[in-house]
Structure 1
Amino acid sequence: MASPQVIGGAVAAAVIALITFTAVPMFIIREYFPYKLLKKQYLGKPTVNTKSYKGRTVLITGANGAFGSRASKLVAHRDVDTLVLVDVMDLTALKEDIESELKKENKPLPKILLWQIDMMTFAGCQEVFRRAKTDLAKSAGLDHVLLTAGILSFKRKESPEGWETTLQVNYFSTALVALLLLPLLKSSPGNPNPPVLTMVTSFGVYCSSFTYGVPKKGSYLKKMSNNKDGMEQGHQYGRSKALLLWFAKELAERTKKAGLNVTINSADPGTAWTNLTGPNRSQLIPRLITNYSARDPIYCATALLNGVSAGPESHGKILHDFDMPEYPPFVLRKSGQVAQQRIWDESREEFEAKVPEIQAVYKMLG
C-alpha cells in the first residue's frame, strides 16, 4: 500500500495539474500559487558556491534547526575562522558533532561560540547585540549573518512583548537583530565582498497574500497580530515572512541610500519535512504542498548558505537555488509600497519605545 507521503504527493500533483490545464486566470496563479517556482526548487540540487571561509566570521540564528544546523556544518567544513551559533536550545551537542566530524577528516577546528538566547523577547535580541560586541571584539570582522530562527504554530499565543508569537520570532525579533547587528557588519581582510546579512523568506508568502490588506486606520502590525485561530493563524507563518520580506527590501533600500557597504538580501530555502514543518501534517493544504515540494534539508541549507555568501549584486534581492526571481506581485504594486512603509514606520516606533540601542542604528540609516 502506498505511503501517506506518496498519496499526498499524488493528490498535490493532481491539484497542480488542475491549475495548469484549466482556465485559471494567470494573475491568480502568480499571486497565490506560482507552482513553477515550487517545482524548480523541488528539482534543484544546489552545491556550496564558496570554497573557503578562511579568516571569516559567520553568525547563524536558529542554529539547532534543520536548516541552521546543516548550514553551520557546511561552513565549518570550509575553514571558517569563527562560527557563532545562536538558538533558544542548548547547542553543545551540535558543537560536539561539528568538531567530531572535522577531527575525523583531519580538518582544522574553528572557534565555535554558543549563544543560548530566547528570541521570543526583545531582551533576547539585545543580548545577541551585546554578545556580538563583546565576544567578537577581537574578530577581524563579521562577514556573514544568516537569520534562520523561526517558529510555526497553528494555535495563537502571545509573546511577552504582546505580539502573536509567530510574528514575534519570525518578524519582530529577526528584524530587530538585523538592525542591531548592522553597525557590526564588517568584511574580514580575506573576504573580497561586502558583509552579507540574509533573512529567510518562504513560498508561504504567496499562499497567504490575500490576507495582507492594509487597514485605512489603526496599526497594520496590530491587525496582523490580533488574529484568530483557524484560517488566519493557519496563514500566520506566511504573513510573518511577508512582513520580513517587506522589511528586508526597505532595509536594503535604506542602507544603499545611506552609503553603507553591506549586502542585505532574502533567501528562499524551499521546502522540506523538518521539526518546524511537522505541524503541517495535520493541515490538508500545507501537507499537500509540502508533500509535493519537499526535498532533502541539505539542499535547503545550501541555498541559504549561498544566499548569505552572495556578492553585492544580490543586494535587495531574493535568492533561490540558482537565480534571483522578482518580488511577489503583492510587494511591488502600490498597495505593497504602502504596506512596506507602514511596516517600517510602525516597527521603528515599537523598537524605539523598547530598545534604546536602536536609536543609533536609525540615525545611521538617516
Structure 2
Amino acid sequence: MANTFLIGTIAAAVISFVTLVIPWFLSEYFPVQLLWKQRNGQPTVRTASYAGRTALVTGANGAYGSRAATLFAQHGIATLVLVDVQDCAAVQQKIEVELRAKGKPVPTILVWQIDMMTFAGCQKLAKLASTLETLDHALLTAGILAFNRRESPEGWETSVQVNFLSTALVALLLLPRLKASPGNPEPPVLTFVTSFGIYPSSFTMGLPPPSSTKSYLRKMSTNRDGLEQGHQYGRSKGLLLYFARELAARTARLDRPVTITSADPGSAWTPLTNPNQSKLIPRLIMNISARDPIYGAAALVNGASAPASANGQILHDFDTAAYPPFMNRRSGRRAQERVWDEARKEFEAKVPEVAAVYAMLPDEE
C-alpha cells in the first residue's frame, strides 16, 4: 500500500513538472517555439517602394545593418544614411555597384562615422541629422556583445552604454528630426532592435530592494565578469525594451504622430555572435535558431516601415509578439519607470539639448 502511494506521489510530481513547471520555465526564460518559428521564417520586405523617402541605419557596417541598408536601397529609397563607428564607404560602394549592375536607380548615400561609446558621438549624429529635410525611417541596429566587463568614457559598462543609453539618447535626439516625406502615407518610424537574449537574462534584472537607494541602472552596470557579463547583452536589451515601451506610450500622445517599434531579427551567425561558437550552451541555442541574416535584416526593415497601428509593439517576421512576462508584472512596470527616470537624469546632466525633447513629450497619464 505504501509503495502504491509513493509511486502515485512520484507520478503526480512528474506530471505536474511536465505539465506546469516546464511550460512556465519555457515561457519565462526560453521561448523555444518562438525561436523555432524564426529559424524557419523567411520574411521579405513588404513595402514595394520607398521612392522619395529617407532612411537612416545605425550599425550600418554590421551584418544586419548593412543588409537592411541594402534592402532599403533595392526598394527605391531616395536618401540612405549609413551610420557606424567604422567608415561605411565599402558598404556604400557595394550598394552602388549592385544597383548599377541591375539597372536600378542609385540613392543619395550619406556616410556618417559616429562613436556611440560616448554621448558626444550621439550629439554629433543628431547635429548631422538636422541637415536632413525628411526622415521617414530610423533603424537603430548599432550594438555590441561584450564578453568581458569594460567601462565607457561615460563611466558605464560598455553594453549598457552602447546598447541602451546611447541608443536611447540617439532616439530622443532624432525624435524632432523624424518627418515623413510627401509621398509617404504613414507617420515616420523609429525602430529599436530587440533580442531573445532578454528572456534568459531576466532572472538577473530584478530591482534593488525597496529599502535600497541604489540606482537601478548602476546595478545593471556594476556587474562582474562571468554569469552576469554573459547575460549583459540581454540585460542591456531589456533596459532598451523598457525604454522603447515608455517612449512609445508618450509619443502616442503627440500632436505630430511618430511610430515607435521594436523589431526582433532572430538569430544568425555573424561577426558579432561568432565568438559563441566556442561556448557550448550559446552554440546550441544558436544552432536551434540561427538563419541567414538577410531574413533578419528584412524583419528589421519591415519593423522600421510599420504602420501607425504598430506603435509600441514588438515585431517579428510576420506578426507581433508579446512583451516578456516579467515586463508585464507590477515589478516590471516599476522597473520601466526607474529606467525612464534614471536615464532622463543622466541625459539631462550631460546632454543639455535633450531637455527640449523631454519637454515635448507628454507626462505619463
Q: TM-score, normalised by structure 1?
A: 0.92
Q: Tell me the equivalent position of 2:45.
A: 48
How many pairs were matched up?
343
Shift of residue 110, structure 1, vs aligned partner:
0.5
In the TM superposition, 1:308-319 aligns within 5 A as: 308-319=304-315
Match of 2:158 among 161, 165, 183: 165
Match of 1:222 among 208, 213, 218: 218
1:238-258 superposed Cα distances (whole Å, 9 cap, x missing partner): 000000000000000011133
**Divergent runs of 4+, >3 A:** 20-25
1:150 equivalent in alignment to 2:143: yes
Q: Tell me the equivalent position of 1:118.
A: 115
- Paired residue type of 1:82: T
Q: Percent identity?
A: 65
Find the residue that maps to 2:130 and give its secondary structure: helix
1:267 equivalent in alignment to 2:263: yes
Shift of residue 284, structure 1, vs aligned partner:
2.0
In 2, distance between residues paired with 1:175 and 1:90?
A: 22
- Paired residue type of 1:284: L
- Paired residue type of 1:149: A
1:27-53 superposed Cα distances (whole Å, 9 cap, x missing partner): 221110111111110010001100100
Shift of residue 23, structure 1, vs aligned partner:
6.3
In 1, distance between residues paired with 2:73 and 2:33?
A: 33
Match of 1:177 among 127, 148, 170: 170
- Paired residue type of 1:171: F
1:192 equivalent in alignment to 2:185: yes
In 2, distance between residues paired with 1:156 and 1:22?
A: 39
- Paired residue type of 2:355: Q
In 2, distance between residues paired with 1:278 and 1:304?
A: 21
Q: Tell me the equivalent position of 1:67.
A: 64
1:311-360 superposed Cα distances (whole Å, 9 cap, x missing partner): 01110000000010111101100000000000000000000000011010
Q: Tell me the equivalent position of 1:6.
A: none
Structure 1: 5+ residue stretches without partners: 1-19
Q: Tell me the equivalent position of 1:79.
A: 76
In 2, distance between residues paired with 1:194 and 1:32?
A: 34
Q: Tell me the equivalent position of 1:327.
A: 323
- The answer (yes or no) to whether the contact 1:153–1:279 under 8 Å persists in 2 is no
Shift of residue 26, structure 1, vs aligned partner:
2.0
In 1, distance between residues paired with 2:314 and 2:256?
A: 19
Q: Tell me the equivalent position of 1:13.
A: none
Find the residue that maps to 1:25 and give its secondary structure: helix
- The answer (yes or no) to whether the contact 1:60–1:84 under 8 Å persists in 2 is yes
Shift of residue 301, structure 1, vs aligned partner:
0.2
Q: TM-score, normalised by structure 2?
A: 0.92
Q: Tell me the equivalent position of 1:298.
A: 294
Find the residue that maps to 1:257 and give its secondary structure: coil
Task: Specify the structure having the higher radius of gyration (Cα).
Answer: 2
Shift of residue 196, structure 1, vs aligned partner:
0.2
In 2, distance between residues paired with 1:278 and 1:336?
A: 32
Structure 2: 5+ residue stretches without partners: 1-16
Q: Tell me the equivalent position of 2:54.
A: 57
1:268-324 superposed Cα distances (whole Å, 9 cap, x missing partner): 000000011112122222111011110000000000000000101110000000010
Q: Which moved more, 1:160-169 or 1:252-261?
A: 252-261
In 2, distance between residues paired with 1:313 and 1:277?
A: 33
